[in-house]
Structure 1
Amino acid sequence: MKKIHNILAIALLLTSSAVMAQQESVISFYRQHMNLVNPAYVGVDSMTIATSSLRKQWTGVAEAPETQTVSFGTYLGKNVGFGMTVIHDQTFVEKQTYVTVDFSYKLKMSETADVYFGIKAGGNTYNVNTTGLETYNLQSDPALGSINTFNPNLGVGALYKEGALYVSLSIPRLLNTKRATNDAGYASVKTDRPHIYLSGGYDIPLNGEFSSLVLKPSAMLRYVSGAPVSLDLTAMLQIEKNFEIGGMYRTDKAYAAMSTIRLSKRFLFGFAYEMSTQPTLAAARNTNEILLQFRF
């Protein structure tokens, strides 16, 4: 039974990977983690912020995809921002870590409007360790060779910010990257294409007896040639500047309930409970995401 379960789990992961193979890491709390995809965000509003998140996908499947992220951004003065980002993805025998250094520069457009430009430089380590596979052959299978690669990369981004409005456009990985694929039964390396991210949001203070509330709608669009467009639509309601509750809908047939709480002036905690409407993922259960953010 254990072998049957493992085979079913691997089949599910491979099927899902075929659908999502051309999509980079997806984060429900993208608005709190924007410099993961756009280097122009480091040092925005002259702030120093460190953010971390853990996303565990499909809790009903052993060794399902897991994403760990860390980002840091600070203002250096003279309109220059500096930061770093780390994205670590792990799925069964496949692991990859993307590390970058980010810089931004601010142009003052008016008393309330600024434009930021950013550049991201780093690289991605990619590893497939096939020794973790269980086979029925007494001898090693040459089709199950391990893969180790390193891919340097560059990214660019721009941000327009005016008061409670922001519009973001970025390509975090301009150069093609390599990953494993199944080629006629053999493990090989294929090339993925750059992704384009377009995001925007606006904070709407409510009036009258609801003056302590702020509605925060936002959206994140992801595009890569050869794959369906993915769009996140999110709405959060802020209560007394200390608590937010809301939800997200993703066109990849997923939706989430989300909440954040400010435990102190500097520390923010968030949790997202995401579910899929795809029938093939019904047995995979939910996805959990935890957000931790500290403002210096």
Structure 2
Amino acid sequence: MNAKQTLKSIWKLKALYLIALPGIAYFVIFKYIPIFGSIIAFKDYSIFLGTLGSPWVGLDHFERMIQYPDFLRILKNTLLINFYDIIFGFSAPIILALMLNEVRKVLAKRLIQTVVYMPHFLSWVIISGIFIGVLSPSTGLVNNFLNWFGFESTYFLGEETYIRSIIVGSGMWRETGWGTIIYLAALSGINPQLYEAADIDGANRWQQTWSITLPTLLPTIMMLFLLQIGNFLDFGFERVDVFLNPFNRANGEIFDTYIYQAGLLQNQYSYTTAIGIFKSVVGLTLLMGANFISRKATGNSLY
């Protein structure tokens, strides 16, 4: 197709390109253009010399990242928290969607959906305030319940042992209801005749779920899993930082919170950019590997 035919095709579909223009502009401005700034990871960046004027230092910042005494600890925290989030946080919307799909009364189903969707619209500051109040050692609901059974109060946010569970659990409470929207939409597209045929053959609800519902949901599950695995090391600063304090930071600090401390508070821009590139390379590698496995195992993939 030559240039004239290409322009003619674009003009023919001008309405669609016009609608897509804001999305294209967003990715170009905020995703592609900033890639140029990644070269400061290989420079000793100075705000006075600029990106191009700063001297090259090669892989010095990557070497410093690996030699940092707490690098392995932060990497371990990031991997564990993301792993727990995939195991529990990713599966929770699937389970909830399957449970809601079995609710036959429309009013009850809509009421449950509304209640479980609501936390999604709360900020992480509010979420942290709720959890800090619920887990308070003096007035918290959880400790009052434990005291009722004769157990001593525990300062959950003041111990390293519980911080990862709190971070993952708060995310599940906030996002599980919202995540069920996609799965419920996929469930609504299943042909009811499949269930009728299975019912005639004597299959119970569990057998129908295992043989019809889950296989139908598998393409959607794999697509969402691939999208999440690409951000495996990008857990989110605001989601974690609101729960951190000097008592639990050892088990709760991740790359995002460390980048904030070193990059914005200590002005180590080149060093934290190197950490960001490391995160991106790991995420891309995991995405490509998971995509290859998904294509071979299920026939579904992102590309």
Shorter-chain TM-score tier: under 0.3
- Is the helix fraction higher in 1 or 2? 2
**TM (normalized to structure 1)?**
0.24
TM-score, structure 2 length as denominator? 0.23
Structure with greater proportional strand content: 1
Larger Rg: 2
